[in-house]
């Protein structure tokens, strides 16, 4: 059984939350101190999307206070993470390198995409809109944001 619930209900009632959101102005710092404090006590947060979606210091605090039981992720902010990044030493974490997008199917999509881009480039053909990140000095892709 599945049902749609509000974000507030989701964070306050879930034993574990898996985040795979793209980074947008709306998801940047989505899991801030307020949201993390409203998560169900002793719940888990998993983030394989973008490190910047989870507030670095608020997460460390939520784990240190034992409000959250654990955190798992394969993304950091900034990435690469500096040697003194607090996520390296925070309690109850399972940080790994960024492998979540490297399934065989994902590798095939990447291979096909790179092949298409290179063929278009060498044949002097226009790129597909989905492959353009910057156009005329501005961010053209909805998947990217300016820092």
How many structural domains does the chain have? Answer: 2
pLDDT at 42 over 60: yes
34 and 88 together in one domain: yes
Q: What's the pTM value of the predicted model, to 2 decimals?
A: 0.70
pLDDT at 146 over 60: no
Using 50, 70 and 90 to split pLDDT, how confident is the model at 15?
Answer: very high
CA dist., res. 45 & res. 47, Å (int): 7
CA dist., res. 43 & res. 39, Å (int): 7
Average pLDDT of the segment spanning 47-72: 96
Tokens of 17: 């939350």
What is the domain range of residue 22?
7-95
**What counts of helices (H) and strands (E) characterise the chain?**
4, 6
Asked if the structure places residue 146 within a domain, the reply is: no
83 and 15 together in one domain: yes
SS3 42: coil
56 and 28 together in one domain: yes
91 and 108 together in one domain: no
pLDDT at 25 over 80: yes
Least confident of 7-11, 130-134, 137-141: 137-141
Asked if the structure places residue 48 within a domain, the reply is: yes
């Amino acid at each position: 059984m599945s049902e749609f619930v509000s974000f507030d209900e989701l964070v306050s009632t879930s034993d574990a939350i898996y985040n795979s959101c793209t980074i947008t102005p709306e998801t940047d710092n989505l899991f801030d101190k307020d949201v993390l404090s409203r998560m169900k006590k002793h719940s888990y947060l998993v983030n394989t999307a973008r490190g910047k979606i989870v507030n670095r210091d608020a997460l460390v605090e939520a784990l240190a206070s034992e409000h959250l039981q654990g955190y798992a992720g394969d993304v950091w902010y900034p990435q690469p993470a500096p040697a003194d990044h607090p996520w390296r030493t925070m309690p109850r974490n399972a940080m790994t390198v960024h492998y979540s997008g490297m399934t065989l199917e994902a590798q095939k999509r990447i291979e096909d995409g790179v092949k298409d881009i290179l063929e278009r480039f060498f044949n002097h053909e226009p790129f597909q809109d989905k492959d353009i990140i910057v156009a005329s000095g501005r961010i053209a892709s909805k998947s990217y944001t300016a820092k």
